[in-house]
């Protein structure tokens, strides 16, 4: 019993850390899909790019961890803004098929660039000394880095929710998600809003990729391999919402960790079955808007 309890706590803890990372990466995807109706399969590319920026800043230039993290966010956000203006913006009115193909093309290109620049192997992660080791807590040991991860992600999520629920920018985003034409009619510059929101979402993905480099290895096939999970978070959670993907990410994080811990022979079955079941029950996702 004691042992079972210990493993329960451990699964919940690691699942929580994984789920938070999934959420930080995917929330931008939910917003871009909900706001712009854009099927951006290349979202994982931003997460991978964030991971690479942080790791090469730390490993090659000896930049301290917090600065490298900030660099990942800023670099990827800026780069994504350029991409959005040059390429994505042209396809907002195009069909789903074009968007899917275009973003698959981006994935192929980024995989090739990553492999050319860094080789096919996962990048080594050297955590700073103060985040290594264990924290004692309620008579148990928890890896310090995961604790930091959870706390940091929670504060980011808090900030994000505050931004969306309480600021003028958030009100504009919510208005545009609900009814874009009306938002434009009352004078909201939606294309600038799109660019900013896209950059923020990509920056968050970069932050998630960088933070999670220890959990989800940074390697060239990253955008392909983890795409399913990011999409599941968004599709199960519901487009354009912040709460939905949060619940979905935590569920997936904990369920996936639990399955791999207790029934490794079933692997990821549960996740896919659950996804299929949820989407059949509610095609618009758990917290999505009812289809008009």
Residues near other proteins (CB under 8 A) are 33, 39, 87, 90-91, 94-98, 100-102, 104-113, 115-116, 224, 227-228, 231-232, 235, 239, 265-269, 272-273, 275-276, 279-280, 283-285
CB of 269 to other proteins, least distance (A): 6
The 3-class secondary structure across the chain, one letter per residue, is: CHHHHHHHHHHHHHHHHHHHHHHHHHHHHHHHHHHHCCCCCCHHHHHHHHHHHHHHHHHHHCCCHHHHHHHHHHHHHHHHHHHHHHCHHHHCCCCHHHHHHHHHHHHHHHHHHHHHHHCCCCCCCCCCHHHCCEEEECCEEEEHHHHHHHHHHHHHHHHHHHHHHHCHHHHHHHHHHHCHHHHHHCCCCHHHHHHHHHHHHHHHHHHHHHHHHHCCCCCCCHHHHCHHHHHHHHHHHCCCCCHHHHHHHHHHHHHHHHHHHHCHHHCCHHHHHHHHHHHHHCCCCCCCCCCC
CB of 36 to other proteins, least distance (A): 13
**Whole-number Å distance between alpha carbons of 178 and 139:** 48
Question: In this structure, how many other beta carbons lie within 10 angstroms of the beta carbon of residue 33?
Answer: 21
Complex with other proteins: residue 183 or 235, whichever CB lies closer: 235
**Whole-number Å distance between alpha carbons of 206 and 203:** 5
Complex with other proteins: residue 82 or 276, whichever CB lies closer: 276
Complex with other proteins: residue 99 or 202, whichever CB lies closer: 99
Complex with other proteins: residue 95 or 158, whichever CB lies closer: 95
Complex with other proteins: residue 162 or 273, whichever CB lies closer: 273
CB of 171 to other proteins, least distance (A): 25
**Whole-number Å distance between alpha carbons of 14 and 58:** 25
CB of 107 to other proteins, least distance (A): 7
Please, which residues have CB within 8 angstroms of residue 143's CB and are 6 or more apart in sequence? 133, 134, 135
Complex with other proteins: residue 100 or 171, whichever CB lies closer: 100
CB of 158 to other proteins, least distance (A): 28
Complex with other proteins: residue 130 or 266, whichever CB lies closer: 266
CB of 284 to other proteins, least distance (A): 7
CB of 220 to other proteins, least distance (A): 9
CB of 33 to other proteins, least distance (A): 7
Complex with other proteins: residue 85 or 115, whichever CB lies closer: 115
């Amino acid at each position: 019993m004691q042992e079972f309890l210990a493993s329960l706590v451990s699964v919940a803890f690691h699942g929580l850390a994984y789920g938070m990372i999934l959420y930080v990466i995917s929330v931008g995807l939910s917003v871009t899909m909900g706001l712009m109706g854009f099927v951006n399969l290349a979202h994982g590319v931003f997460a991978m790019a964030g991971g690479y920026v942080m790791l090469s800043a730390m490993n090659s230039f000896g930049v301290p961890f917090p600065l490298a993290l900030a660099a990942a966010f800023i670099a990827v956000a800026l780069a994504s803004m350029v991409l959005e203006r040059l390429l994505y913006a042209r396809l907002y009115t195009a069909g789903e098929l074009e968007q899917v193909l275009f973003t698959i093309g981006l994935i192929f290109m980024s995989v090739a660039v990553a492999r050319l620049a860094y080789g096919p192997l996962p990048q080594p992660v050297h955590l700073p000394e103060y985040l290594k080791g264990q924290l004692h807590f309620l008579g148990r040991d928890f890896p310090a880095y995961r604790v930091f991860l959870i706390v940091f992600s929670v504060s980011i999520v808090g900030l994000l929710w505050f931004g969306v629920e309480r600021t003028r920018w958030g009100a504009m985003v919510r208005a545009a998600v609900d009814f874009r034409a009306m938002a434009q009619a009352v004078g909201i510059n939606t294309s600038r809003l799109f660019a900013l929101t896209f950059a923020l979402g990509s920056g968050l993905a970069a932050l998630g990729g960088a933070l999670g480099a220890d959990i989800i290895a940074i390697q060239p096939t990253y955008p392909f391999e983890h795409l399913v999970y990011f999409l599941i978070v968004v599709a199960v959670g519901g487009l354009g919402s912040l709460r939905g993907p949060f619940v979905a990410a935590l569920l997936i994080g904990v369920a996936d960790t639990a399955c791999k811990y207790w029934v490794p022979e079933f692997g990821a079955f549960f996740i896919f079955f659950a996804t299929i079941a949820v989407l059949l029950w509610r095609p618009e996702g758990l917290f999505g808007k009812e289809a008009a």
